[in-house]
Amino acid sequence: MQSDHDIIIVGGGMVGAALAARLGNAGYAIGLIERGAEPTPMSGDYDLRISSLNARSLAFVKLSGTELPQERCCPFRHIDVSNLDGTGHSVFSASDSGMDDFGLFIENRTLQHALWQRLQELPSVTCYTHCAPINTLIAGDKRVVELDNGKMLSARLVVGADGARSTLRQLAGIEVTSHNYHQRALIVNVETALPQQDVSWQYFTPTGPIAMLPLPGHRASLVWYDHDETTKAREALDDDALKAAIENAYPKRLGKLTRIVARASFPIKRQHARRYIGKRLALIGDAAHVVHPLAGQGLNIGLHDADTLAEMVIKGRDPGDHINLHRFECQRRVANQAMIAATDSFHHLFTGAKPLRQLGDLSLHLAERFPLAKRMMMQQANGLNPFKRG
């Protein structure tokens, strides 16, 4: 038997669930397909995977009627970018742009769980868990998706939000370009002697950046980028040795660590789909693009894709209208390509050969000297139009 929806979304991660909640809240009949289980709430220690949500992403999440648990969110008001040897330094403050904060840090699972909670309240949304697509084809003005549990679903638009290894993208025959940075990000959740701060700081070193992302209370998420093998060796250290290595490599402002809570490492790559659309099909989030995480923008640009697509669906008559999808692709591909290029240049400017690193230092000096340029960079990072006044 075939179940019909207005829109099918493959992948119930943060981006797919946010789109489902936004369109479900607007009354569309949504079928959300998730390979895994429904997310469970977080309690106790903070999860390793956290993300920053900028002003635009928060506004989009709010439009779906989703409430975020404030006790697990950590707003931040300053971004401090420096070179570990002190040759370049720039501080970005939300107040310089007339904002209270830059946004907040939240655990990926907490955000995903809050979105799914909202989906349960929306009668027009049906969630299909523990299943994945194995085939898709066009039938008249619908796209049909065959699932590995034997179910057939159809809709006027099918959206792939199933992450970097997207099955839907492969079934649609869409290729990607990709680049491996041969780096890993070691994420370490720690308890700090110093109280929580409202600043997210990042220091560039010749082997990669080291960063502190604040969490509520005496907690922080440390990110340490380095070559694959060095990172794997560091990840295998016992708690005392890892604590000593962090205190030795990180700037003094981190203070003493009272506990290593958890650690894991992730490979760093960039990837871009050659097309974002097909007949009655669109890709969003990591299914469409993966950017270097050093600027904390991957999820934000994924939610921006979802926001743009949702607006087009809501304003149009047919969710899968090719002209609208084409417009979506033009807008988002150009913006995401610019973000991929910007994070790639940051990586090379600060971890490349010495002349490049000197250029990186200069760019930090220039950002500090020219308030207008700095303000535009902050607007851009917040998903806002840097050319808009006020």
Ligand X SMILES: Cc1cc2nc3c(=O)[nH]c(=O)nc-3n(C[C@H](O)[C@H](O)[C@H](O)COP(=O)(O)OP(=O)(O)OC[C@H]3O[C@@H](n4cnc5c(N)ncnc54)[C@H](O)[C@@H]3O)c2cc1C
Rounded distance between C-alpha atoms, residue 129 and residue 152, angstroms: 14
By CB under 6 A, is residue 109 in contact with ligand X? no
Segment contacting ligand X (CB under 6 A): 6-14, 65-73, 248-256, 347-355? Answer: 6-14
Tell which one of 293, 320, 360, 383 touches ligand X (CB under 6 A): 293
Rounded distance between C-alpha atoms, residue 129 and residue 224, angstroms: 34
By CB under 6 A, is residue 298 in contact with ligand X? yes
Residue 354 beta carbon to ligand X: minimum distance, rounded to whole angstroms = 27
Strand partners, 271: 178, 290
Q: What strands lie across the sheet with 125-129, from one edge to the other?
A: 125-129, 30-34, 7-10, 157-160, 281-283, 277-278
**Contact track, ligand X, 165-184, x by CB under 6 A:** --x-----------------
CA distances 114 to 79, 118, 120, 320, Å, are 26, 6, 10, 28
By CB under 6 A, is residue 132 in contact with ligand X? yes
* Gyration radius (Cα) of the chain, Å: 21
Place of tokens 């693009």: 289
Q: Which is nearer to ligand X, 283 or 312 (CB)?
A: 283
Strand partners, 215: 219
Q: Which is nearer to ligand X, 37 or 353 (CB)?
A: 37
By CB under 6 A, is residue 33 in contact with ligand X? yes
Rounded distance between C-alpha atoms, residue 312 and residue 318, angstroms: 10
Q: Which is nearer to ligand X, 52 or 82 (CB)?
A: 52
Segment contacting ligand X (CB under 6 A): 28-36, 58-66, 75-83, 253-261? Answer: 28-36
Backbone phi, then psi, for 16, in 5-degree steps?
Answer: -65, -45
By CB under 6 A, is residue 319 in contact with ligand X? no
Backbone phi, then psi, for 31, in 5-degree steps?
Answer: -110, 115
Q: How many residues bind ligand X (CB under 6 A)?
A: 30
By CB under 6 A, is residue 313 in contact with ligand X? no
By CB under 6 A, is residue 273 in contact with ligand X? no
Tell which one of 31, 208, 302, 360 touches ligand X (CB under 6 A): 302
Provide the 8-state DSSP code for 207.
Answer: T
From its phi and psi, is residue 303 left (phi > 0), alpha (psi between -120 and 50) or beta?
alpha
Of 212, 187, 190, 185, whose CA–CA distance to 263 is shortest? 187
* Collapsed DSSP state (helix, strand, coil) of residue 170: helix
**Contact track, ligand X, 213-252, x by CB under 6 A:** ----------------------------------------
By CB under 6 A, is residue 74 in contact with ligand X? no
Segment contacting ligand X (CB under 6 A): 32-40, 77-85, 245-253, 382-390? Answer: 32-40
Rounded distance between C-alpha atoms, residue 340 and residue 288, angstroms: 12
Q: Which is nearer to ligand X, 52 or 324 (CB)?
A: 52
Strand partners, 203: 82, 210
Q: Which is nearer to ligand X, 24 or 293 (CB)?
A: 293
By CB under 6 A, is residue 309 in contact with ligand X? no
By CB under 6 A, is residue 305 in contact with ligand X? no
Segment contacting ligand X (CB under 6 A): 248-256, 275-283, 295-303, 369-377? Answer: 295-303
Rounded distance between C-alpha atoms, residue 109 and residue 12, angstroms: 11
Of 332, 10, 329, 336, whose CA–CA distance to 162 is shortest? 10
Residue 30 CB neighbour total at 10 angstroms: 26
Tell which one of 22, 28, 30, 34 touches ligand X (CB under 6 A): 34
Q: Which residues bind ligand X (CB under 6 A)?
A: 10-16, 33-36, 51-52, 132, 161-163, 167, 185, 187, 266, 285-286, 293, 296-300, 302
